[in-house]
Structure 1
């Protein structure tokens, strides 16, 4: 009888413990969900009663015993901002998590990898950014992973191979770069990485998927796409005899294809004068080599080899030697590429110098190159010129720049300092710059075409071929110059897709937010605000400012902003940029978006007049549509917004620095304009489609002075 009582007592205690555990699990789930909703801005569609069971909440599902939350489905409910950490990860029994079609941003929290029971993760159609953490590979029970239509960057982690139960992986419409990892999951039936920035060959386990799974990438090749053919093979393909050619000064059998010439030409974008200079350098170099003389005195680190990041000029487009950067560091120097913490990359200086490169442009502080490393990683290398500070001051400034972490600021990933070379390494944003999108014209293409004869000339060896190539250069330059600078050369190009008003404002707001972060958090003066330093991502809200904080490296010997039209009046005298001079340059940028005119454009009514003065002269006379870009005249219901932006732009370009607003105030005003132009779903409420009627443009009120 006593044994029976003890057994009943033990059973009762066990049931009590189990019930307490169930209540504890559900209470923990409830606390995690409430914390998530409390820390994530959202619309009023979600109404959770904190006093009720979470099993009765909208979008929440529990198991049959109502003891644990197993699914959270909140698609398209207006969730905004980053996913707060230590919230959803507390719902330990979660099987399905669907937050698709919201406006979530920021990185994917690493602690979500603790949801060991998760089977389906749907986060597509948001604005999530940053790299995809390798910790996702811990979700070993995952069967469906959809992260499409976000802003993820970096490489796709190899750790996805740990998801052995995966049947569908969707990573399309992001900014993933580098090469595709070999993801070998036999049960995976659906796979898509289209519309990213991936390059290199497609691994064999993934070649069973259709071409549409890989379309729209930077340079993917191999089955099921076209076979891989190196853009600039190094070393050159072996001859039929099987002998590998030695990389040396003479490569008579290596020929440059027409496609490669066109690609390099378009990427080069240099002017005719620089091309002629290169010809002279090439002639001198060939003659001295033929006479047996070295190009330059040898250093301890070896002789210098001309290449894309080396030599006395800054216009060559490929690099294949570790000595290319200034002849390589001297033996006693041993300078290294310095990376910042939590970086995305793991290459060294040798890898960078072996990379193939092409010129992106020559800016006011140096020349930028797009470098594609052997493993497929793509970065931007900026080669600084006229640096006037010692190594210690340079390193201190780099440390300050490397701390910046903001979606609208292009991060500095690494730097290199030697006596002859100063290099900065940034992420590569394939969408280009605001200047290129706003002012693209045939002159850029023509300048690139004018450079193509130089590429032909640089491939020549021997006196006779060199003379023949020189003659061809003269003929080609003459024909191309007449074509490019003749009456038919347009200013903005035919067939160009106009930049509409909404996207202009979203890009301006993104640039303003990046500038505000630099001013208020990083405490850095940008010093070089201009349209070519506003780089674009697929989402206009994620546009980012670049070339910031470099002015202290050059002292006062050279203007911190060498592009005419952007400089504040006081900077022309002091040559020291300030927060207020950044605001002036940003105001010029707003005027550029409104008028469609470049700040240094000569045809603004008077010879030499800058953009702010031209706008002021038009406003003083009377309000006319002349001040606005003709491409904006086709859109309806934006006149009030255009007037407001013009008013804030004119406030930014006041001659007296103290009369200009702070950049935070400008950002708030831009946010008001953008928010009024968008509805709850982020789309303009009134129709601004030029095809839906209305031939007239905005009609500003008469006699109004901003």
Structure 2
């Protein structure tokens, strides 16, 4: 019996010793060296007396034999990454240091992490070039260095990363031409808002949308505007394309002609003109002499004669064809105005205007057109319209009646077999997308909290008027469709266009804003608009674009990313770093975050109506006024016509944010 007890005790002690020593001591020391050498806030408190596998942000493999993942997003790391620290984690698969204040160059010794798959360094202050050592990581699948200050060329050696599925280089200072990347596995790619120039390689242009390349002023080629400056450009010329009048084939010579040459040319032209006139006169006289006497009129055939049936029908048909052809020609050049007296130009004036591409969206391309008399408008050239002319006209006339101070009015439209154009007012302050996600380098003026609240409230008012007074589903709510006046009041644009395109393409085509049910039904509703508006509120709060797949380590969408961060009790890390400089707004940010999360509920019936969203935001402003913080806004539930939307059912907000 005693021997059995001894054996049991020996086994227990062996197991205890195994548990004690079953942790990667070398990895533990590397992480302790890293933390001791880099300035940081107190959010990371690793206890050396416990297993490294239990530390915050550290994940080990199933046997606790090596550190598998290191995730330290937004924990207050400052300065340069100490050399010979993280590079010693030889078995590391995931490294996330995003949303800190790391600076200096990206360490060359990261090339020692031969097994790493996901590397996330976005939203820091890294500078210098993207080290070529990064291209020596054979298993790398996702690389995100967006929102830094990296410069130099985009390395051609990125082609060595043959397993890469996501590459995010946006919002840096990369320059030069874009290399031709032939990575068969690449699914997500973004180089927007850099200083790149030249033409987009054909392989990349075919795979990715304009959002992946915009913000590079000297970058051109499909899917951006072509590398010429023609008005209404198209990839291939076609006779139906609306373009500016062709240039004269006679080009002005750079050398001035002498006076004798000018006189000789004038005399020669005069003689040629005189000969032509004499020839025309001779032909007219000859034709008159050769023409015989006028033929007598045919006898009138009485009605009812069988012989008249064919002649009469043919004559009537021919007459209708002639009239129809003339009417069609006149109608083809008709620009239909929905507001008499607002503008006084016609289609020819519009085609002569100088044009600048503002952007390519899911429904077409928008141009800023400056007419000869100085009027500036926005022309949207629609693509993939499937409805008939009558259906198009009825839809446009209905949209033209929607008037509100927070809605961009539709002023005119044009329909022909080959072209469909819409004319809107020009908004000089641009879009919310450009204001919020433009270059965040030095010299940028951050969008403060008061203006973000103003934009949220005014955009909600515009959308509420669409839903309640206009009975119109927007169908494509996104930041680029929220245009701004000079006082930063928001105006909703591009509304009600989805019925023009049928059901072959899902409405609200930017996936980051699309409600879950739209993927299945392919139909936008008032509730799906509310979901998209909720994503827009999250965009205002986080400063992150929802159509960037780099929000989370696995490319999750913006609502799910916010939920995951809140679930880890790092709620403060949700908010845009540019808002951190403003004082006493934390409670308001959380309140707006609660409203946004109610809007993005996955169950449509659990989302509030947009008029209820307006009232909740208004209540925030009213509370601020009661506290003496800022003036109250006007009643957001009333449109410019004074109409008050009907009272909706109030959707309660839970105290927490986790779904």
TM-score normalised by structure 2 residue count: 0.49
TM-score normalised by structure 1 residue count: 0.46
Larger Rg: 2
